[in-house]
Copies of this chain bind each other. A is one copy, B any other.
Amino acid sequence: MKLLEDKIKRDGLILGDDILKVDSFITHQIDIELMKAIGQRLATVYTENKITKVVTIEASGIAPAIYAADFLHVPLVFAKKSKNVTLTDELLTTEVFSFTKKVTSTVSISHKYLSPEDNILIVDDFLANGQAASGLVDIIQQAQSNIAGVGIVIEKSFQDGRKLLQDKGLQVTALTRIGKFENRQINFLEADDAYLD
Contact = CB atoms under 8 A, between A and B. Distances in A.
Contacts of A74: 32
Interface in A69-90: 69-70, 73-78, 80-88
Given A66-B66, A70-B36, A101-B84, A30 B75 contact: yes
Specify how many copies of this chain sit in the oligomer: 2
A76 B27 contact: no
Given A63-B66, A70-B36, A86 B31 contact: no
A180 to B, nearest CB: 18
A19 B59 contact: no
Given A15-B86, A29-B75, 4 more contacts: A29-B77, A30-B69, A62-B63, A62-B66
